[in-house]
Structure 1
Amino acid sequence: MENELSILISWLISFIGIGVTALLGINIWTSLSIDKRIEVIVKKEVESLKEQNVELRDQLKNYSLAISERSVGDEYMRMGITGDAIFNYLNSLEYSIVAQDKSLISENLDSCLSIIKEFPAIAHCETTMENLENIKEILMQIHDERSYELYSYFVSSSKNENDLSLQESLSKEKNEEGNIR
């Protein structure tokens, strides 16, 4: 009976050893799989942070360019060179849109409107006509009444300019016909 008891105890110890070994194996496997999951999560977060850093760097770059253009525009306004000032404000407006700075967008729109109201002939200058499409493109990106007002002003002034140039070309043709006869 002693022999049977020792065999039974040895079998129990063997089964307990196998069970403990299995539990330890499962524990080790679980901890390794958790480490892998944590590593995957950390990699995703690092990539996300890198993308955010790139986006913020671009935003900061555009913000600094917007501030620079704005300050040059302010300097031109102090000197009374409104033609150059409005173009600096428009450039600043373009950078402000990319930088997503609503207060700077608002300031630039206000500055452009005040120049247009004070010096409406600015829309007929040669530089404005050369850059009219870019100006319209910038203003179309902003959903604000002031932007719509500026856009309509530049569109109507370009239409008037086109009408004037058409009238000039027609009068030149008439003069040429008169000279031929």
Structure 2
Amino acid sequence: MLRLLDFIFSFFGILFLWPVGLIVYILGLFDTGSPIFKQKRVGKHQKPFTLLKFRTMGVDTKSVATHLANSSSVTKLGAFLRKSKLDELPQLLNVLKGDMSLVGPRPNLFNQEELVKERSERGVYDFLPGITGLAQINEIDMSTPEKLAKVDAQMLQELTIKKYFHYIFATLGGKGSGDRIKE
């Protein structure tokens, strides 16, 4: 049922939000010259997939977890995209394709070994990663791997259609500030 909701909402999200995406893409061309950010992430059953986002940092920024990145790497447009969560818009394609869900644990990098271990032990990788979820609306990010893995596992065990919609609407309503960045 949730996969059907993911498909429907991502399809209509892309259909109705493509003009916004086009504007962000064009602005991104002027900002960094390369508006789409692609990165290998850990997916369901620990299979790799390519995550899509609008670029919020300079093109030559080292590929690390967001909480390890330096705030000076974030462009002015990138800061706006992060705050408004518009940087996540291309992930609707990941959801449509079936690599992600709208609701689930945020996909991590393969080199985040402590988080991979914690999530593996709790069965988090038995589910699709998501754009938002319980951890995101409560501002728990990847800088606290054990806590994040526990909250992700709790969310997945207790996920209902009602909670699915709660996480989405809480995110759209501005709850949660996203992954923190080193100052």
TM-score where L is the length of structure 1: 0.24
Larger fraction in helix? 1
Larger Rg, first or second structure (1 or 2): 1
Larger fraction in strand? 2
